[in-house]
Amino acid sequence: MVQTSGQEGAADYDIVIVGGGMVGISLALLLAQQHAEWKVLLLEAQAYEQSDQHESRPSFDSRSTALSWSSRKIFSAAGLWSALQSHVSEIKKIHVSDRGHVGLTRISAEEAGVEALGYVIENRWIGAVLLEQLGATSVEVIAPERVAKVVAMKSKVRIDLENSGETIQTSLLVIADGANSKTAQKLGIHSDQQPYGQQGIIANIAVQNPHCGVAYERFTDQGPMAMLPLSDCDGLPRCALVWTQTPERAAQLMAASDDDFLQALQESFGYRLGIVEKVGERIAYPLALTTASEQVRRNVVVLGNAAHSLHPVAGQGFNLSLRDVATLADVLGAAKTAAIDFASLETLEHYQQQQVADQQKTLLFSDNLPKLFAQPSSLMALGRNSGLVMMDLLPSLRGRFANFGMGMANKEAGRGK
């Protein structure tokens, strides 16, 4: 590798990934498979052994993630799916309904001709599996560590580390430190934030009746809610709740006793799963659509939530980012094999061109869905209910909705493995 304009004596890496959340670790794993000789460093702000401290650990808190078919294919191709599979609950049906209105639709895996419409897994399991796999690679991990200063040089990026005070340099800096990235800001890459004026409350819920692999998407006047199937716990069926609320109502629900919270949930969700018996730890997230002003520069890529952070109702954020990760790893790997500068602007723009259509479609879908269902006006209610009724009548429309959820509508733009 040509080493121009680097700093004498500074540890030199091919690729430094800042942010060891679900996206940063996934990329590190895929890069290690592309070229084992690459010198890759992962910098994570939090110590991994503190992974149960949810407040400071955005990726691996008590949330669950609905993985799409496209994510399954990427993890399978990377040889990671078999380790994840024992922790997932398959989504066999999606049940979409609108509280207080007639519209209702069901989408089934059987009808879509697939084994499952998605796979729900607790983030802590994703973290445990990915970290274990990472330990078997040559990727160097420093955690806890933060970036104090970043300087773009002629053909390298110089990074001053906060805790150790050391200076390192890299050919490619991948910024994956989450929404409103501090590292990107240090390079003058800004985030455009459009708040939804809503909070997403997440919690695991034990219910009376088996969910039978059904994911419930329910639209209420306050905002959408999802109850996703999880594995049983202590003999009780469980679901992962994502409940969108106004900030005021979210504050009330967060402060409520478990009994009051469960009563409010029962009223809003109904009795499709019988009595909602228990609620686990609750966490509230302010919801916003956040996009980075730039995703690639020479020697720099912005990835994951740092590049685009979406409304969670459509369950697309990580799935989209994983398609970005897979495409980036492929493009970098191909450039390296062809002895082309993998950190050049041309190579990185090639990656971005491959992902732009997928990103735009997914952003639009995730942005429009909650807005459509947040409108209380009767005209909108009529529109969305006839939309749901239409979906139940028209298999092709239902198929398109299901395909989108599975990441299939994006397969030309994403990785079609």
Residues engaged in binding ligand FAD (CB under 6 A): 18-24, 43-46, 58-59, 63, 65-66, 146-147, 176-178, 182-183, 200, 202, 242, 285, 304-305, 312, 315-319, 321
Backbone angles phi, psi at 82, to 5 degrees: -60, -35
Nearer to ligand FAD, 22 or 343 (CB): 22
To ligand FAD, the closest distance from the beta carbon of 247 in angstroms equals: 15
Nearer to ligand FAD, 198 or 385 (CB): 198
- 184 sits in which H/E element: helix 182-186
To ligand FAD, the closest distance from the beta carbon of 412 in angstroms equals: 19
To ligand FAD, the closest distance from the beta carbon of 217 in angstroms equals: 11
To ligand FAD, the closest distance from the beta carbon of 299 in angstroms equals: 18
Nearer to ligand FAD, 204 or 316 (CB): 316
Give the residue among 379, 333, 350 at the shortest CA–CA distance from 27.
333
Backbone angles phi, psi at 170, to 5 degrees: -145, 155
User: Which residue type is seen at 118?
Assistant: G
Rounded (5°) CA angle 387-389-394: 90
Cα(256)–Cα(23) distance, integer angstroms? 33
To ligand FAD, the closest distance from the beta carbon of 103 in angstroms equals: 23
To ligand FAD, the closest distance from the beta carbon of 341 in angstroms equals: 26
Cα distances from 116 to residues 95, 119, 405, in angstroms, run 14, 7, 11
Rounded (5°) CA angle 121-310-69: 40
Cα distances from 181 to residues 35, 48, 112, 276, 304, in angstroms, run 28, 20, 38, 38, 10
Nearer to ligand FAD, 63 or 156 (CB): 63
- 82 sits in which H/E element: helix 81-85
To ligand FAD, the closest distance from the beta carbon of 114 in angstroms equals: 17
Nearer to ligand FAD, 183 or 327 (CB): 183
In sequence order, what are the residues at sequence separation of 6 or more whose Cβ sits closer than 8 angstroms to the Cβ of residue 388? 96, 97, 98, 103, 104, 105
Residue 113: both structure tokens together = 């001709």
To ligand FAD, the closest distance from the beta carbon of 397 in angstroms equals: 22
Nearer to ligand FAD, 250 or 381 (CB): 250
How much of the chain is helix, strand and coil, in % rounded to 5? Answer: 40, 30, 30
Nearer to ligand FAD, 155 or 199 (CB): 199
Nearer to ligand FAD, 59 or 354 (CB): 59
Q: Which residues of 38-55 are buried (b: 16+ CB within 10 A; e: fewer)?
A: bbbbbbbbbebeebeebe
Nearer to ligand FAD, 14 or 177 (CB): 177
To ligand FAD, the closest distance from the beta carbon of 340 in angstroms equals: 27
Angle between helices 317-337 and 22-34 (to 10 degrees): 30
